[in-house]
Amino acid sequence: MTIQQIKQRFEILGTSPLLDRAIDTAMQVAPTDISVLVSGESGVGKEVFPQIIHLLSARKHGEYIAVNCGAIPEGTIDSELFGHEKGSFTGAHEARKGYFEVANGGTIFLDEVAELPLQTQVRLLRVLETGEYIKVGSSKVQKTDVRIVAATNVDIPDAIRREKFREDLYYRLNTVPINLPPLRDRKEDIHLFFRKFAADFADKYRMPTIKLNEEAQKILTGYKWPGNVRQIKNIAEQISVIEENRNVNKEVLAKYLPENIGGNLPILFSKNSAESGNLSDREILYKILFDMKNDMTELKKLVYGMLKGGKGSNVISQEGQEILKDMITASDSEHAEVVMPEEFQQITPVDTDISTSSSNLEEMQEVTEIIEESLSLQDMEVELIQKALVKHKSNKNAANELGISERTLYRKIKEYNIK
């Protein structure tokens, strides 16, 4: 089969040389049993390439199973992949075949492979190296002849550095890499996709096809498309349904193109996360903590300016002395924690009656140190998780409250040994 025939068979759009190179690589590697790792951003169409490889291989008459590793709970992923024996765990009322047994002689596509737990990664590595696996709850070694094609939108080298993915498994999967370019690097294909989806939705909703004028086409091709093909499809559908005028100009199109997606979110962008388009919970928490620290610094400066006697003065005004007296009195009576800004430690008091003695300053400095220590990432994560669990009494609801997946919550509970 030619590249053009493959495009027609699998309804692949595009004339980009980068896309053609990826298809050509898939065609060349298909007749072999080499493991393949398909990488690319979310929405670029990675799921099509394992099907191409399976169709053009000697295993095309065998089973083809696509597994979304990120959608299977951590506690059941081993059972899904390798099967289990009757009574091996609670609820295992009968023996079950896993995907590696069912797909023997065929192909397994592991989508979002970077989401696999480390324990499961060890089992998968053994299958790749020896073709052997053991069912959950069994001691019998079984053999399988399965071709594995994996896909991910995660920067796996970065995941390896963060000890979230095994390096030896990465090299086993990445025997032949296929990298799919994002839509922003295939500008010649952007308008082609829009026209295709516009025609599909016109037929689906029984209405005339929308068309972009020349200026709108320039905006379309100049947009970054962080959601890739999925995003352009959604926008084509929105415009097809909502706009009465079938001729779309740049002003109308601009209303449907979100600007600075995620620009106002409290997220810390590192070089690796920015390139991969994925951010960890750790990076998000770092950004929140940094913003909190900056806000506290600005507040200290503001209060310091209010308490000073005058511009350029390093002496606390009479009004400022009264405020400090009230703060210290409240601290003594209510045992409240009062933080003395570092700037005040250099200020010369006018009245020695103010309780800014060395003992009070030392106590305030200790409070400052305690607060700085409480800003550690692990303490913050543990505290947030504990509060969410106490509030909801349910792991699922707690995970929704924290904005993370239930599987991630399970992992963090185990990692921090939260009771």
**Minimum mean pLDDT among 51-55, 124-128, 194-198, 277-281: which range?**
277-281
Residue 83: give its domain's CATH number: 3.40.50.300
**Minimum mean pLDDT among 170-184, 317-331, 352-366: which range?**
352-366
On whether residue 120 sits in a domain, the answer given is: yes
- pLDDT value for 370: 42
**Pair 14, 163 in one domain:** yes
Q: Which of 164, 181, 198 is the last residue of a domain?
A: 181
Contacts with 406 (C-beta within 8 Å, 6 or more apart), sequence order: 73, 395, 396, 399
On whether residue 275 sits in a domain, the answer given is: no
For residue 10, pLDDT beyond 90: yes
**Pair 177, 29 in one domain:** yes
- pLDDT value for 247: 92
- pLDDT value for 264: 39
**Pair 309, 403 in one domain:** no
**Pair 147, 192 in one domain:** no
**Pair 158, 191 in one domain:** no
- pLDDT value for 174: 92
**Pair 174, 47 in one domain:** yes
- pLDDT value for 285: 72
On whether residue 271 sits in a domain, the answer given is: no
- pLDDT value for 62: 94
For residue 326, pLDDT beyond 50: yes
On whether residue 388 sits in a domain, the answer given is: yes
What the block records as the tokens of 286 is: 């770092």
- Average pLDDT of the chain is 80
**Pair 143, 93 in one domain:** yes
**Pair 125, 163 in one domain:** yes
Q: Which of 359, 374, 389 is the last residue of a domain?
A: 374
For residue 167, pLDDT beyond 60: yes
Alpha-carbon torsion (121, 123, 127, 129), positive or negative: positive
**Pair 49, 167 in one domain:** yes
3-state DSSP assignment of residue 147:
strand
On whether residue 365 sits in a domain, the answer given is: yes
On whether residue 260 sits in a domain, the answer given is: no
On whether residue 270 sits in a domain, the answer given is: no
For residue 270, pLDDT beyond 90: no
Q: What is the DSSP string of 165-186?
A: S-HHHHHHHTTEEEEPPPGGG-
**Pair 92, 170 in one domain:** yes
Task: Encode pLDDT of 273-297 as tens digits.
Answer: 444 444 556 667 766 777 777 777 7
Query: By the 8 A CB rule, do 117 and 74 touch?
Result: yes
Q: What is the 3 state secondary structure string of 18-77? A: HHHHHHHHHHHHCCCCCCEEEECCCCCCCCHHHHHHHHCCCCCCCCEEEEEHHHCCCCCH
More reliable by pLDDT, 407 or 158:
158
Task: Encode pLDDT of 219-267 as tens digits.
Answer: 999 999 999 999 999 999 999 999 989 999 999 999 999 874 443 344 4
- pLDDT value for 92: 80
Question: Can you give the residue range of the structural domain that contains 385?
Answer: 377-416
CA distance 220 to 237: 15
CA distance 224 to 306: 46
Q: Which of 144, 160, 181 is the last residue of a domain?
A: 181
pLDDT band for 349, please (50, 70, 90 cuts): very low
Nearest by Cα to 281 from 371, 407, 188: 407
On whether residue 264 sits in a domain, the answer given is: no
- pLDDT value for 353: 45
Number of folded domains that form the chain:
4
Task: Encode pLDDT of 61-101 as tens digits.
Answer: 999 999 999 899 888 899 999 999 988 888 888 888 999 99
Most distant CA atoms of the chain, gap in Å:
92
**Pair 11, 112 in one domain:** yes
**Pair 339, 408 in one domain:** no
